[in-house]
Amino acid sequence: MRPIVAAAAALAALAASACSAPAPPRAAAASTAPAGPATLPAPTGGGAVGTTALYLKDTSRPDPWNLDVQARELKVTLWYPAERRDGRRAPYMTPKESELTLKGLGVTGAPYDMLSRTRTNAVKDAEPVGQGLPLVVLSPGFTEPVSTLTSLAEDLASRGYVVAGIDHTYENYATTLSDGRVAECLACDSDTDPGFGAGVVKSRAADVSFVLDRLTSEWDGADLIDRGRIAMVGQSIGGAAALATMVEDSRVRAGIDLDGTTYARIPKKGLSRPFMFVGSPQHASGGLDNSWDRDWRLLTGWKRWLVVSGAEHRSFTDAPLLSDALGVTSPAGVLPGARAAELDRTYVAAFLDLQLKGRRQPVLDGPSARYPEVRFCPATCAQS
């Protein structure tokens, strides 16, 4: 299934994955005039945020998508607590990445460089501060660059986490590599092949393990990282990859799947490390597919299954925050972008604070009057 190409629905495709079960039909979003560049919400943790990029090459394996390349090249974007707030803000995307992404989605109502003008909060190449901080790996949805998780990444960094976002080369519309080459989506031509989803999560698990191997030696701020406190968060196929990585790599102590159908099989003995599913109502107790229900039974440690009323697949990315900039109006009943971002940031941070910092989080104990959109499954998520 290729991304929707109608301009009015293109923003939904920004966070939709070819590896997720299709959503039920709904009314198309209205298209309006673009409102100008978007501004990501300020991080809530209080600390200054810096960001930088690493370019890594795994010579031990060929690229799974480009048969002419004998080494896997990856771009890793790092967000981290910074010493100062002043300095040049990092770009959300390059103009070329913005152009290829919007063309890939079929967006015609906004200038092709619009995403490159999105205003972020992190200072490019800022001096890091701190030592022995927990590390969170981010993996985006299929066709998406990791920049679509920037709002979440900046927020976590402001709360005292080092965040490593991986662009899985050739799996999104545009990744700029170290020499300036722009790798486009070769995997998009294979997304209907049998076993595609399982192959993607296996490859991504290898990407993550390689990044963890190299991160402490490739970055000047490596001493910031506590190797004993590592978690992974992913959206869509990236969420599926979080579970797959935990099955393969015991260094990842905890994981979150944001609205992603899963593919990796958990061993019969179960997975005892903490894991949390967070999804749209279609993931309520098997309403979308049986993968969460199947895996829930095999999660033998701390676990939660949360469903967010009013959320769509795109609600767990920056896509709703970019709506006005792209001239797209969401249908009635869908969570506004600011509220979706607040819920995403709140529950992801609560999970990580509990699992990596040992801080009790009452918001994870049950329903909250402050966040009535969030239901705890499977007990309260029976289909009506």
- Of 171, 138, 140, the C-alpha closest to 156 is 138
Instruction: Tell me the per-residue pLDDT of 245-275, one tens digit each, with 9 for 90 and over.
Output: 999 999 999 999 999 999 999 999 999 999 9
Instruction: Tell me the per-residue pLDDT of 143-197, one tens digit each, with 9 for 90 and over.
Output: 999 999 999 999 999 999 999 999 999 999 999 999 999 999 999 988 888 899 9
Angle at the Cα of 234 from the Cα atoms of 341 and 73, rounded to 5 degrees: 125
Instruction: Tell me the per-residue pLDDT of 286-319, one tens digit each, with 9 for 90 and over.
Output: 667 889 999 999 999 999 999 999 999 989 999 9
The values of phi and psi at residue 30, to 5°, are -75, 150
Whose tokens are 């079960």? That residue is 21
Beta bridge partners of 155: none
Instruction: Tell me the per-residue pLDDT of 107-131, one tens digit each, with 9 for 90 and over.
Output: 888 899 999 999 999 999 999 999 9
Q: What distance separates the 2 farthest-apart alpha carbons in the chain?
A: 55
CATH architecture of 48-377: 3-Layer(aba) Sandwich (3.40)
Angle at the Cα of 212 from the Cα atoms of 207 and 213, rounded to 5 degrees: 95
The two structure tokens encoding residue 46: 């209080």
Query: d(Cα 246, Cα 174) in Å, to the nearest integer?
Result: 27
Kindly list the distances between the CA atom of residue 272 and the CA atoms of 36, 60, 243, 253, 347, in Å, as whole numbers in the listed order: 47, 30, 12, 10, 21
Does this model's pTM top 0.85? yes
